[in-house]
């Protein structure tokens, strides 16, 4: 996976680059809009992280140009502006996701990963063992039996299933499902997780959702041997 980071704050750019290298991605940096556009046109990337406030050519203009040129690389827009208006405007300019500064490294990685996953042909069904989630019909079944989930439980489960085998921290879950960028100091995640488990795990021979003590949760494919 190769990611292009277009960000004029060199410290931020190098921090993002290091974070991506640590998870085994290749990453290049461009420090202004013109340079970024040039590199993006010349090299195929799997994803682009784009700061919207850039010298020479601003992020939204860069993005518009990219899309006009037919370059459909998924773009994660990054900005300090966090209002709903900007968020919607950013998405209209053709970016695929949006991250507001300051952000946690875990959040950056989660967003890049989900961007890369979305790049692959969309299937509307996620399946882990006998648990099936249909993102289009928005229904869930376990061993063929339908489970009735609330909207939050559904996004919680979808998040777990899209990251199967990966431990998700409470903070990551809060940020993803509730958009909290801070520790809410509540047991919101625990409460919803417990409801979700009672609907999709309780009473089945294999518990797919597991607690990682002191950290968070993981949804695991059962061992084939056991
Ligand atoms: Ca900037």
* 225 confidence band (pLDDT: 50, 70, 90): low
For β-strands 216-219 and 168-169, DSSP reports them as antiparallel
pLDDT tens digits along 104-152 = 889 999 999 988 887 655 557 889 999 999 877 789 999 999 999 998 8
pLDDT tens digits along 55-105 = 999 888 999 898 888 888 899 998 876 655 665 565 666 778 888 888 888
Token duo for residue 93: 């300019």
Q: Cα of 98 to ligand 1 centre, how many Å?
A: 14
Contact present, 160 and 217 (Cβ < 8 Å): yes
Closest CA to 74 of 94, 57, 54: 94
Q: Cα of 79 to ligand 1 centre, how many Å?
A: 7
Closest CA to 4 of 33, 27, 38, 23: 27
pLDDT tens digits along 184-210 = 677 889 999 999 999 999 999 999 999
Residue predicted with more confidence, 226 or 98? 98
CATH number listed for the domain at residues 125-219: 1.10.10.10
Q: Cα of 29 to ligand 1 centre, how many Å?
A: 13
Side-chain half-sphere of 41: how many Cα atoms within 13 Å?
14
Give the per-residue pLDDT at 182: 58
Q: Cα of 174 to ligand 1 centre, how many Å?
A: 26
Q: Cα of 9 to ligand 1 centre, how many Å?
A: 6
Q: Cα of 127 to ligand 1 centre, how many Å?
A: 40
Give the per-residue pLDDT at 175: 76
| Residues whose beta carbons lie less than 5 angstroms from ion ligand 1 | 8, 51, 53
* Per-residue b or e along 116-129, where b marks 16 or more CB atoms closer than 10 Å to that residue's CB: beeeeeeeeebebe
Token duo for residue 136: 């289009």
Q: Cα of 48 to ligand 1 centre, how many Å?
A: 15
Residue predicted with more confidence, 15 or 136? 15
In the chain, CATH 1.10.10.10 sits at 125-219
Q: What is the DSSP string of the chain?
A: -EEEEE-S-HHHHHHHHHHHHHTT-EEEEE-SHHHHHHHHHHS--SEEEEESS-SSS-HHHHHHHHHHTT----EEEEES---HHHHHHHHHTT-SEEEESS--HHHHHHHHHHHHHHHSPP-SEEEETTEEEETTTTEEEETTEEE---HHHHHHHHHHHHTTTS-EEHHHHIIIII--SS---S-HHHHHHHHHHHHHTTTSSS--EEEETTTEEEE-PPPS--
Q: Cα of 60 to ligand 1 centre, how many Å?
A: 12
Token duo for residue 205: 């021979």
Asked if the model's pLDDT at residue 224 lies above 70, the reply is no
Give the per-residue pLDDT at 95: 76
In the chain, CATH 3.40.50.2300 sits at 2-119
* 226 confidence band (pLDDT: 50, 70, 90): very low
pTM of the model: 0.53
Q: Cα of 104 to ligand 1 centre, how many Å?
A: 17
Cα torsion through 195, 198, 199, 200, rounded to 10: 120
Give the per-residue pLDDT at 171: 86
pLDDT tens digits along 16-66 = 999 998 888 888 999 999 999 999 988 888 899 999 889 999 888 999 898
Q: Which fold has domain 2-119?
A: Rossmann fold (3.40.50)
């Amino acid at each position: 996976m190769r990611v292009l980071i277009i960000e004029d704050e060199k410290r931020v750019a190098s921090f993002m680059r290091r974070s991506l290298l640590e998870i085994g991605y290749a990453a290049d940096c461009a420090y202004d809009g013109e340079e970024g556009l040039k590199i993006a046109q010349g090299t195929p990337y799997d994803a682009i992280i784009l700061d919207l406030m850039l010298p020479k050519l601003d992020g939204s203009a860069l993005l518009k140009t990219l899309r006009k040129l037919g370059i459909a690389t998924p773009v994660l827009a990054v900005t300090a502006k966090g209002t709903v208006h900007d968020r919607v405007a950013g998405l209209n300019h053709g970016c695929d996701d949006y991250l507001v500064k300051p952000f946690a490294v875990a959040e950056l990685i989660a967003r890049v990963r989900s961007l890369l996953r979305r790049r692959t042909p969309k299937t509307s069904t996620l399946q882990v063992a006998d648990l099936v989630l249909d993102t289009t019909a928005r229904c869930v079944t376990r061993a063929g039996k339908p489970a009735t989930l609330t909207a939050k439980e559904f996004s919680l489960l979808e998040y777990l299933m899209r990251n199967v085998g990966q431990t998700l921290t409470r903070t990551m879950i809060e940020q993803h499902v509730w958009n909290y960028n801070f520790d809410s100091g509540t047991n919101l995640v625990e409460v919803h997780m417990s409801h979700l488990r009672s609907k999709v795990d309780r009473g089945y021979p294999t518990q797919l959702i597991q607690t990682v003590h002191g950290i968070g949760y993981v949804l695991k494919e059962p061992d084939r041997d056991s």
